[in-house]
Structure 1
Amino acid sequence: MTAIILPMLLLAAGCSQDEPTKVDKAVAALVPGAPPGGSEAALANGAPASDIREKNDLIEFAYAYPAEAAQIPELARFLDADRQVKHSALVAAAERDRAASAKGGFPYHAHSHLQKWLLVTNTPRFLSLSAEIGTYAGGAHGMTSFDTLLWDRNKGARLKPVDLFSSPEAFDAAIREDFCDRIKQAKAAKGIQTADEPGSPFAECPPVSAQTVWVGSSDGRYLDRMTIAIAPYEIGPFAEGSYKINMPITSALVRVVKPEFARDFLPVN
Structure 2
Amino acid sequence: MTYRTVAVIFPVLVLMTGCSDKAPAEADKAERVAAAAVPGAPPDGAADERAKNAPASNVRETGDLIDFAYAYPREAAQIPELSKLLDADREAKRSALVGAAERDKAASAKGDFPYHAHSHLQKWLRVTNTPRFLSLSAEIETYMGGAHGMTSFETLLWDRNKRRTLKPLDLFTSPEAFDAAIREDFCARIRQAKAAKGIQTPDEPGSPFSTCPPASAQTVWLGSSDGRYLDRMTIAIGPYEIGPFAEGSYKINVPVTAALVRVVKPGFARDFLPVN
Q: Structure 1: give runs of 5+ residues left out of the alignment.
A: 6-42
Cα-Cα RMSD: 1.3
2:155 maps to 1:141? no
2:87 maps to 1:80? yes
Secondary structure, aligned partner of 2:254: strand
What's 1:3 paired with?
Answer: 3
TM-score, normalising length: structure 1: 0.84
TM-score, normalising length: structure 2: 0.82
Indicate how the Cα distance of structure 1 residues 210 and 45 shifts in structure 2: closer, same or farther if over 3 A, else same.
closer
Q: Relative to structure 2, which stretch is displaced further, 199-208 or 58-67?
A: 199-208
Q: What is the CA-CA distance between 1:198 and the residue it aligns to?
A: 1.9
Secondary structure, aligned partner of 1:140: coil
Distance 2:264 2:180 in 1: 12
Q: What is the CA-CA distance between 1:47 and the residue it aligns to?
A: 1.0
Identify the match of residue 183 of structure 1 among 190, 203, 213: 190
What's 1:247 paired with?
Answer: 254
What's 2:172 paired with?
Answer: 165
Secondary structure, aligned partner of 1:228: strand
Contact kept in structure 1, 2:238 and 2:249, CA below 8 Å: yes
Distance 1:44 1:165 in 2: 31
Distance 1:44 1:196 in 2: 54
Q: How does 1:81-120 map to 2 (within 5 A)?
A: 81-120=88-127
Give the counterpart letter for 1:216 in structure 2. G
Q: What is the CA-CA distance between 1:201 and the residue it aligns to?
A: 2.4
What's 2:22 paired with?
Answer: none
Q: Structure 2: give runs of 5+ residues left out of the alignment.
A: 6-49
Identity %: 82
| Relative contact order higher in (CA < 8 Å, ≥ 6 apart) | 2
Secondary structure, aligned partner of 2:106: helix
Secondary structure, aligned partner of 2:154: strand
Q: What is the CA-CA distance between 1:45 and the residue it aligns to?
A: 6.0
